[in-house]
Amino acid sequence: MEKQIIGRGLVAGALAAVVAFVFARIFVEPQIDAAIAYEEGVGAAHEALEHGAGAAGHSHGEAGGGFSRAVQMNIGMGFGMLAFSVAMGALFAIVFAVAYGRVGDVSARLLSLYVAGGMLLSLYVVPSLKYPASPPALSLDETLRQRTLLYLLMVVLSAALLIGAVYLGRRLADRLGTWNAAVAAGGAYVVAVALLMLVLPAIHETPGPLRDDAGVIVYEGFPADVLYDFRLSSLGTQVVMWATIALVFAPLASRLLDGRREVLRA
């Protein structure tokens, strides 16, 4: 049974990768191009200020080593999206299999939506409130390891806190009622996440205006609209992926599980 559920999760993840890739290709890639153009522009400005001392920006594969932007935005992003989405589909199926039958009398279709929503919230939305996605030119190479570890820590702790909130809600349901227990558990999760965000260090690396020795601005800071659109589109990509996983997985799991539940009841 578990293998059948995971197999359906893999199928849902693969289909979600296709939909999410199309969305990201349309909405995210233009913002990445704008960020790369800014990075190259500010690199050229640095070079001009230093009279050719070698402060040029990154080429991103356009001239020399590495992959070209065409390869990055099509093949590279496609394979990356496929690997990530299939992995999330498998993880989704495992969480679904553990939760099914243990969180009340919930149908497979409805539980699919609950699990997808919870994973979107805990694995992306909440961590992104503390460490939001950033396009090229917004991060320093020397802080890459720190940023990666902090983000992964935020993801793990957010997921653990959500699991704890669900467990708390189940324990309080008999005493407070389903609605009050859900409100109490949700409030506990929000408070715990807020405390976690206060404890973890913040990272601020958005480039400001480039100034010369006289303090005159020679190149503007990173465009706020590009940053906003990139983060909004990144959120949209995650929403599309998780929604597709849930909507594809739900009928597949329903055929497999809900029929058997009715037979057992009879």
38, 219 contact by CB (below 8 A): no
What pLDDT shows up at residue 14?
A: 97
Q: Residue ranges of the domains in the chain?
A: 2-138+217-265, 140-205
Q: What percent of the chain has pLDDT over 70?
A: 90
What pLDDT shows up at residue 57?
A: 44
pLDDT for residue 263 is more than 80: no
What is the per-residue pLDDT across 78-94, written as a single tens digit (0 to 9) for each? 999 999 999 999 999 99
What pLDDT shows up at residue 59?
A: 45
Residue type, 57: G
59-73, 74-88, 171-185, 235-249: least confidently modelled range: 59-73
Q: Which two tokens stand for residue 68?
A: 């070209």
Write down the pTM of the prediction: 0.87
**C-alpha dihedral, 110 to 7 to 238 to 185, nearest 10°:** 40
pLDDT for residue 58 is more than 70: no
What pLDDT shows up at residue 56?
A: 42
Mean pLDDT of 140-156: 88
Q: How distant, in Å, are the alpha carbons of 86, 133, 177, 241 from that of 171?
A: 33, 36, 10, 32
Q: Which residue has the higher pLDDT, 65 or 87?
A: 87
Q: How distant, in Å, are the alpha carbons of 7, 29, 130, 195, 237 from that of 125?
A: 26, 20, 9, 16, 12
